[in-house]
Structure 1
Amino acid sequence: MTTTKPPVWFWIISILALIWNSMGVNQYLQQAYNTEAFKSMVSTEELEMISQLPTWYTAVFAIAVFAGALGCILLLLRKKLAYFVLLLSLISVLFQMGYITFSMNMANLMTPFIVIAAVLLVLFSKHSKKKNWIN
């Protein structure tokens, strides 16, 4: 199977997606390590709610952001494995956002954007695979 040279916008989207997912990795690391910067961004009530999140939630959060970043790196390397890794990220995002929205009532303005971005990345990687931009 041969690959086709992707258009410029493929690279732009892939780089922007990597930046987006890198911000998610940063957010995860700040929350996991309970940094001062993280504590200054949330209220005392929110910190208490976050400290009560189950361990599986933290694992799903980690999978979502690290798989998202890895999937974007794979896109930039033009590997079709990007689709499957981004699909794993999307599934994790759905569990993560579903839990905080429906069980914890902690959703915020970013929640729908995070879900939409994950869905769009899966669709983008699927399209890239179909166009033979990734192999």
Structure 2
Amino acid sequence: MLMSRPLGWFWLLAIALLAWNIIGLVALLFDPVIGLGDVSKLAPEQQGVYASRPAIAFYGFVLATFAGTAGVIALLMRRHFALWLFMASAAGLVMQNAWLFRDPSNLTTEVLGYQALVAGSIALAIWLALTAKKRRWSR
């Protein structure tokens, strides 16, 4: 099967997604390092969210971030399996955030806005992987 060459916007979006995922990796690396002094500097509602977060949420963060980063690298290498990595990233996001809906007080505008941005980036990555497959930009 002959592959077409991706258009410039494909590369631009993929590189933007890679930068976004690298920011996520940096946030992931610093997450366990946050000490009590740093948490006390957060707004009171954010302190509550951070303190009540279950371990599964952290593992979901790890899955979402590593799968998303690996997916973008696979996308840049023009591989079909990038789609599966983005699906794993979406599952990680669900693991990371499902607990928030048990207690509505956790659902601040800031938390919801940021998680919507993350979900949007995963949706964009999935769309980009599907477009690459459809247009034969990946193998």
Specify if TM > 0.5. yes
Cα gap change, 1:42 to 1:85, in 2 (>3 Å): same
Q: RMSD of the TM alignment (CA)?
A: 2.2
Aligned residue in 1 for 2:125: 121
Q: Is the 8 A contact 1:97 1:115 kept in 2?
A: no
Q: Provide the aligned length of Structure 1 versus Structure 2.
A: 133
Q: Is the 8 A contact 2:4 2:137 kept in 1?
A: yes
Q: When the two structures are superposed, what TM-score results if normalisation uses the length of structure 1?
A: 0.84
Q: When the two structures are superposed, what TM-score results if normalisation uses the length of structure 2?
A: 0.82
Q: Is the 8 A contact 2:60 2:94 kept in 1?
A: no
Q: Could you tell me how far apart the structure 2 residues matched to 1:13 and 1:86 are? A: 15
Cα gap change, 1:41 to 1:79, in 2 (>3 Å): farther
How far apart are 1:11 and its partner, in Å? Answer: 0.6
- Within a 5 Å distance, the mapping from 1:1-135 to structure 2 comes to 1-34=1-34, 39=39, 42-43=42-43, 46-100=46-100, 102-104=101-103, 105-106=106-107, 107-135=111-139
Larger Rg: 2
Q: Is the 8 A contact 1:11 1:76 kept in 2?
A: yes
Aligned-residue identity in percent = 25
Cα gap change, 1:35 to 1:126, in 2 (>3 Å): farther
User: 2:133 corresponds to which letter in structure 1?
Assistant: K
Q: Is the 8 A contact 2:3 2:137 kept in 1?
A: yes
Extract unaligned runs of 5+ from structure 1: none
How far apart are 1:69 and its partner, in Å? Answer: 0.8
3-state SS in 2 of match to 1:32: coil
Cα gap change, 1:77 to 1:40, in 2 (>3 Å): farther
Range that drifts further, 59-68 or 20-29: 20-29
Range that drifts further, 5-14 or 26-35: 26-35
How far apart are 1:8 and its partner, in Å? Answer: 0.9
Extract unaligned runs of 5+ from structure 2: none
Q: Is the 8 A contact 2:67 2:86 kept in 1?
A: yes
How far apart are 1:30 and its partner, in Å? Answer: 1.1
Runs ≥4 residues deviating over 6 A: none
How far apart are 1:49 and its partner, in Å? Answer: 3.2
Cα gap change, 1:31 to 1:41, in 2 (>3 Å): farther
